[in-house]
Structure 1
Amino acid sequence: MALSTHTTSTGYLLPSIHSAPPFFTQQPNPTTLSIATEQWIRLILGYARHRKLFFLRVEDAETPGNDWDEVLRNERINRKLLPTYLSYILDTMVKKNLAAYEPPKQTRAVLLHWRLPEEWAEALHEWATSTGQLNSILTFYDITDPPLESSLTGIPIPLLRKAIAILAKTNRAQIITIADGEGVRFFTGNK
């Protein structure tokens, strides 16, 4: 069977390697494993960005019908990624700072960094500047669920906190305690 690309029902173009049965198996040869794992990482991050997915769990490889089905399974060749291999891939992603265990202190679910926290920090500051939010106090909800959808809509709070912390180091943001939790104030600052 020739390897071929495939477009998923959500419009994502899967690479031809996705149609190779060995791709779904954790390879015993370290070099082959390293190459396949890098391809899985690129695939996972690309798909997450395409679908705006922030979390991936080991259980997603076990449970059909979830947001990750069309990547973690290939019904055309009757293959699926095994949870043990997905766990290995997630661990590799965490070690490369392409994901973080969320919640911390467990190893079955990650928050994906299809944009690095530093990139989210820049996007957050650009959004605050372009929408006239400098020097005003915003709740986290104001940012994650704004009246007009933005690139920050739906960003998970742990990732938002990381981005704000990065901005705080350059005096471009400050976390503020407010009546119903936490908020943030953005400043012009310098990078």
Structure 2
Amino acid sequence: MALTTHTTPSGFLLPSIHSAPPFFTEQPNPTTQSIATEQWIRLILTYARHRKLFILRVEDAEAAESDWAEILRNERINRKMTPGHLCNIMVAMADKNLAIYEPPKQKRSILVYWRLPEEWAEVLYEWVVDSGQLNTIMTFYEITDPLVESALTNIPVPLLRKAIGILGKTGRAQMIAIADGEGVRFLAKSK
């Protein structure tokens, strides 16, 4: 079979390397494996952005109904990612600060940074300004589940906390304790 691109049912364009059977197995040559790992990382990040996926689990390699099945499997060439191989790619992503283990202190599930926390901080701040929420206190729920869908809809709370922390360091956000948990006040940029 020739290496070809393929569009998945979700509309994602798989790169031609995805139709190469060796892409789905760990390579004995460290240089070759390093290149393949970089390609997998790029594929995972672009797919996560396409589908707005945040959590990748080792178990996703085995589950045919996983949100990640379109990239972790290729039925056309009868190949799929093994859990061990996926685990190694997840380690590489965490080592490169392109993901963190979520929940912490385990190695089977990562929070994928298809946008870095610094980028999320800017997206968050821009959304707050555009929606007229400066100097108001907002709950995490109001941010992650807004009335009108936004780029922040369903953002995991650990990632939201990181973004708020980054804004806090620049004086643009302040964490607030509120009756039903935590909130945040967004402040105008100081000149």
TM-score for the superposition, normalised by structure 2? 0.99
Q: Secondary structure at the match of 2:77?
A: coil
Work out the CA distance in 1 between the residues paired with 2:161 and 2:97: 16
1:172 equivalent in alignment to 2:172: yes
Q: How far has the Cα of 1:116 moved from its partner?
A: 0.1
Q: Secondary structure at the match of 1:154?
A: coil
Q: What letter is aligned with 1:188?
A: A
Question: What are structure 2's unaligned runs of at least 5 residues?
Answer: none
Whether 1:145 and 2:155 are equivalent positions in the alignment is no
The alignment of Structure 1 onto Structure 2 pairs a total of residues equal to 191
Indicate the residue corresponding to 2:132 in structure 1.
132
* C-alpha distance in 2 between matches for 1:96 and 1:189: 30
What are the equivalent positions in structure 2 for 1:1-191 lying under 5 Å apart?
1-190=1-190
- Counterparts in 2 of 1:104 and 1:137: CA distance versus 1, 3 Å: same
Can you list the C-alpha shifts for 1:148-167, whole angstroms capped at 9, x where unaligned?
A: 11110110000000000000
Q: Secondary structure at the match of 2:17?
A: helix
What amino acid is aligned across from residue 4 of structure 1 in structure 2? T
Structure 2 Cα separation of the partners of residues 11 and 189 of structure 1: 39
What is the CA–CA distance in structure 1 between the aligned matches of 2:190 and 2:17, rounded to whole Å? 44
> In 2, distance between residues paired with 1:103 and 1:33?
27
Tell me how far apart the structure 1 counterparts of residues 81 and 167 of structure 2 sit (CA, whole Å).
38
- Show CA shifts across 1:81-114 (max 9, x none): 0010100000000000000000000000000000
The alpha carbon displacement at 1:56 in A equals 0.2
Aligned partners of 2:86 and 2:155: how far apart in 1? 23
Report deviation, 1:189. 2.3
Percent identity between the aligned chains? 72
Instruction: Give the AA of the match of 1:59.
Output: E
Instruction: Kindly report structure 1 stretches of 4+ aligned residues shifted beyond 3 Å.
Output: none
RMSD of aligned C-alpha atoms? 0.9
Whole-Å separation in 1 of the counterparts to 2:146 and 2:79: 40
The Cα of 1:64 is off from its aligned counterpart by 1.3
The letter of the residue matching 1:117 is: P
| Structure 1 residue 63 displacement after superposition | 1.5
Matched AA of 2:58: V
Structure 1 position 66, deviation (Å): 1.1
Q: Secondary structure at the match of 2:118?
A: helix
AA partner of residue 159 (structure 2): L
